[in-house]
Amino acid sequence: MAKGMREIKSQIKSTQNTMQITKAMEMVAAAKLRRAQEAAQASSPYADKLKEVVASIAAGTKGVTHPMLQKREIKKTGYLVITSDRGLAGGYNANVLRKLVNTIRQKHKSADEYVLFVIGRKGRDYFRRLNMPIMEEVIGLPDSPSFADIKSVAYTAVKQFEEGTYDELYIYYNHFVNAMTQIPTDKRLLPLEEVSGGTQLTSYEYEPSAERVLNVLLPKYAETLIYSSVLNGKASEFGARMTAMGSATKNAKKMISELTLTYNRARQAAITQEISEIVAGANAQG
């Protein structure tokens, strides 16, 4: 019995240590979530203004054509997926990766029909294990990524579409709703469609020409959408991690309570047994 009590006591101590770690990780994730949420919100005005200018050119200039605005026969598809570098974030990575893999298996018969761009070590390692074609990857993003951190993969993804390497580009990421809810989301990035969105457009004058301005702005707009999704993904990551660590902390508390109850019962039984043995011994001598 003493051995069993020592094991229970050791298990309680181990669970308490784990609970301290999960509680600290929950607090860190909460602090990072606040900053990530602010960064995601701050990126919206820039993207919205770019969208307005692009829509104004596309709607107000006759005869303007650009590869990024034109549909073509779908022979190959590009997918850009945003994951995290680390785990301990609940279903954050698994949900979006499962959604993408299911789409690929339904739409494509061979690896020649699609290509992947991956942000995050978890996604990179996952697709490597499945031997799926990765054109470019970015890992080791900081907690507050700048556009420079993902510029290479964003530029390549957009440029390859312009050059006709593939005929459509989708982005997969977790859309942040709140700390408890992150929705695995897929969005067609290219070709761009309905950039006006039914909003009232401002009239602009362009120098040297609307066409040349459009040639510069359209890739920038697409890259900005990717960066905005990365920031949204970061907020989702910290929200998912905060929730996961909060649940782990609650489970640890429950386990400690149950183990403590078991320990007390075992201790009480041991004391009762010792008293019984003492009384029995005294009676035998009397």
The CATH H-level (homologous superfamily) assignment of domain 26-243 is ATP synthase, F1 complex, gamma subunit (3.40.1380.10)
> Of 47-51, 152-156, 223-227, which range is least confident?
47-51
Edge to edge, what strands does the sheet with 77-82 contain?
134-138, 114-119, 77-82, 168-178, 181-190
Task: Find the angle CA(258)-CA(263)-CA(265) to the nearest 5 degrees.
Answer: 95
Look at residue 112 and tell me whether its pLDDT is greater than 70: yes
> Would you list the domain boundaries of the chain?
2-21+247-280, 26-243
Taking only the tens place, the pLDDT of each residue in 169-184 is: 999 999 999 988 999 9
Q: What is the pLDDT of residue 150?
A: 94
Averaged pLDDT for residues 138-158 = 94
Taking only the tens place, the pLDDT of each residue in 126-136 is: 999 999 999 99
Q: What is the pLDDT of residue 284?
A: 74
Contacts of 114 (CB under 8 A, 6+ apart): 76, 77, 78, 79, 104, 107, 108, 133, 166
Q: What is the pLDDT of residue 60?
A: 60
Task: Report yes or no: 187 and 171 within 8 Å, Cβ to Cβ.
Answer: yes
Domain 2-21+247-280 of CATH type 3.40.50.2300: no
Taking only the tens place, the pLDDT of each residue in 209-255 is: 777 878 888 888 899 999 999 999 999 999 999 999 999 999 999 99
